[in-house]
Amino acid sequence: MKKKCFLSCFLAVLSLCSGAAEVVKDSFSVVLDRKFKPEDAAAVSMTGNLPGKKVKFTMTERMTVDLRTLFKNTVPIEDRAIILFKINSEKDQERYLWLWADYWYTCYVNGKFVASTEPAGEFAFLHDYYRTPRKISLKKGENFVAIHTRPGRASWKIVCRLMPERKDWYLEIVGPMVTHISRTSAVVLFYSELTQAYDFSYWKKGKKNEAKTIPAKYVYGRIPMKNLFRHELSGLEPDTEYEYEFRNVDPDGISEHGSFRTAPASGVEHTFAAISDTQTGYEERESLIRQLVKMGLFKDIDMLVSLGDVANGLDYFIWTYFDSYITPFREEGVTAPFYPVRGNHEYRGLDTTPYTEFFGCPYYSFRYGDVFYIVLDTGEDKARRKYGHKYMLMTDTSEFFKQQKAWLENVIKTKDCREAKYRIVLAHAPPFEWEKPYYSKQIYEFAACLMGKDPECKIDLWLCGDIHAPYRFDPVTGEMVGAERKATKRKQCKLTATDAKNIHFPIYVNDGPGGPGQAYSVTRVQVRKDSLLITCTGVDGTVMDQVVIRKGKPFEVLKTTWKKYIPYNGK
């Protein structure tokens, strides 16, 4: 899916040569000491010497590393570290250093203060807003960079990338790819960092003479050059293969081709695989996905589902969502159509806007044979705040959820939904009040038509992630079963009165990092004529749980390593 042309390679070489400065990747070292203070980094950056027992490491190609791979037992927030590395420069110059740390950092270069996210005496700033380029002054020769930092709760990631002088140093291409495939519709998109102009055509396989064309439109006499080309196709025929072409309006330009098959008209039997909360570094995420694919967890699936929180934040959308996520799937041979779900972390970061530009409205529905899927956006898990948390000021979901509520109330009245043999909800968060009351409050508001003993629309499964603790809820027995909890200081693991009133459908939660499970898992759902077969497999290949769900019946447990949840008694 990702391609590089001669032009992009040339630009990359030109940029690196013109910059005359580079981060020395094997010069990195770090010392862990809880006594360190942010200002201690100043002295280190002047002398180039770290006090204490150093741990050396080589920075990755993406210029990001998780310090927890170097220090296994860190205490969130309380521990401290100073990282030291070198930048070699052939001349005196000003450049930009892309800095970020999970959670906080203070940076000095050659004894000069660069930036800090560590306000004295308070923890008012979260990390996502601060993954941003900082101007630094380099002298000819060796330059020492020192960063004081504290660990986050689930990771301790450090990003320090010297930005190239040229903006167009790397030509990134995404696609062409097809998403949101249903029986009669699909979305086709193509992105290039080099602005271009394309006509778009599609046709039934073998009938190009009947192609429908969407031409590049003239605006005041000229075709505008764009990066993203996205087309929502409708009126397609079920179970039919289509071909398409992005044809460059420049006769010497390169055109892009592809094909896809629409979902079957009827029947229920199919299989999909879902993954969520892959909140790790770029290289680690790519490696994780390749590992899971090679384990056979995505073999012969009809749908590939992301349940949200692809990363901690979308600060570089293409790198995060495509290079380290979708591309590894495609390169490992997973060709099933892709269905995205937006999580709370997709709301965060400097580059969140492209998510909806690429994927459109984050709530939608589609029909696969006689199965109706409802994809919900459960929103941010924190309230809008007046001060602090910069990304919270840019997130106000109250009006958005009113729109989603109106949409959902109309969707459940459609023939596609009413006549479906199964109705499955794909969401990021579970609706339980005891997990996250802020979430459940907004979910109950916009999804009230799915709630209660006699809802307007009965659903057969709510599949989600978010809480980094894999488990399932059986509405017939009222049991919650999941991975054994390692932490004791958690909220009660039982239904509240509100939950008992509202939730009368099966819920299945995929795993995530930092919780009681295996950190990452894949949930496969085999939709059969009389049941749903659900298998949750951990990152080590262990089948953590496998159950059969039948309408109105208790779950049939085929295999499990999970235990019934025990309410926390406060001791």
Question: Do residues 145 and 216 share a domain?
Answer: no
**pLDDT value, residue 16:** 33
Q: CA angle 343-348-349, nearest 5°?
A: 135
Using the predicted structure, report yes or no on whether residue 130 has a pLDDT greater than 80: no
Of 140, 163, 186, which residue sits at a domain end? 163
Question: Do residues 158 and 189 share a domain?
Answer: no
The CA distance from 438 to 385, in Å, is: 14
Residue 234 within a domain: yes
Q: Please tell me the least confidently modeled range out of 49-58, 94-103, 194-203, 546-555.
A: 94-103
Going from the C-alpha of 148 to that of each of 32, 102, 158, 357, 494, the distances in angstroms are 10, 12, 11, 36, 41
Question: Which helix or strand (DSSP H or E) is residue 203 part of?
Answer: strand 198-204
**pLDDT value, residue 9:** 29
pTM comes to 0.76
Mean pLDDT to the nearest integer, 416-443? 91
Question: Do residues 520 and 477 share a domain?
Answer: yes
Q: Please tell me the least confidently modeled range out of 248-262, 342-356, 469-483.
A: 248-262
Question: Do residues 433 and 332 share a domain?
Answer: yes
Q: Which two tokens stand for residue 357?
A: 């530009």
pLDDT tens, position by position, 363-398: 999 999 999 999 999 998 877 766 555 566 677 888
CATH number, domain with residue 558: 3.60.21.10
Q: How many distinct structural domains can be found in the chain?
A: 3
Q: Which two tokens stand for residue 34?
A: 């809880």
Residue 55 within a domain: yes
Reply yes or no: is the peptide bond before residue 176 cis, omega within 30 of 0.
yes
Going from the C-alpha of 271 to that of each of 208, 534, 548, 550, the distances in angstroms are 31, 10, 14, 16
Residues 102, 124 contacting (CB under 8 angstroms): no
Question: Do residues 244 and 124 share a domain?
Answer: no
The CA distance from 436 to 379, in Å, is: 12
3-state helix, strand, coil in the chain (%, to 5): 20, 35, 45
Of 227, 242, 261, which residue sits at a domain end? 261
Question: Do residues 339 and 208 share a domain?
Answer: no
Question: Do residues 422 and 356 share a domain?
Answer: yes
Residues 175, 191 contacting (CB under 8 angstroms): yes
- Using DSSP, how many helices (H) and how many strands (E) does the chain show? 11, 33
Cα distance between the two ends of the chain: 53
Q: Please tell me the least confidently modeled range out of 205-209, 489-493, 509-513.
A: 489-493
Residue 193 within a domain: yes
Residue 11 within a domain: no
The CA distance from 556 to 571, in Å, is: 33
**pLDDT value, residue 516:** 83
Question: Which residues, 6 or more positions from 257, have their beta carbon under 8 angstroms from its beta carbon?
Answer: 176, 243, 244, 245, 246
Q: Phi and psi (nearest 5°) for 474?
A: -100, 110
Question: Do residues 334 and 464 share a domain?
Answer: yes
Of 229, 244, 261, which residue sits at a domain end? 261
**pLDDT value, residue 167:** 40
Question: Do residues 243 and 289 share a domain?
Answer: no
**pLDDT value, residue 485:** 67
CATH number, domain with residue 83: 2.60.120.260
> What residue type is 140 in one-letter code?
K
Burial string for 179-204 (b: 16+ CB within 10 Å, else e) reads bbbbbbbbbbbbbbbeebbbbbbbbe
pLDDT tens, position by position, 529-566: 999 999 999 999 999 999 999 999 999 999 999 988 75
Q: Which two tokens stand for residue 400?
A: 């958005």
The CA distance from 57 to 53, in Å, is: 13
Residue 175 CB coordination number (10 Å)? 24
Domain extent, residue 122, equals 20-163
Q: Which two tokens stand for residue 518?
A: 């295996």
Question: Do residues 49 and 148 share a domain?
Answer: yes
Percent share of the chain, pLDDT over 70: 88
Going from the C-alpha of 406 to that of each of 401, 410, 413, 424, 441, the distances in angstroms are 9, 6, 11, 19, 17
Question: Do residues 190 and 216 share a domain?
Answer: yes
**pLDDT value, residue 345:** 92
CATH number, domain with residue 215: 2.60.40.10
Residues 440, 431 contacting (CB under 8 angstroms): yes
Residue 296 CB coordination number (10 Å)? 11
Question: Which residues, 6 or more positions from 460, have their beta carbon under 8 angstroms from its beta carbon?
Answer: 422, 423, 424, 505, 506, 532, 549, 551
Question: Do residues 205 and 294 share a domain?
Answer: no
Residue tagged 């990390």 (tokens)? 127
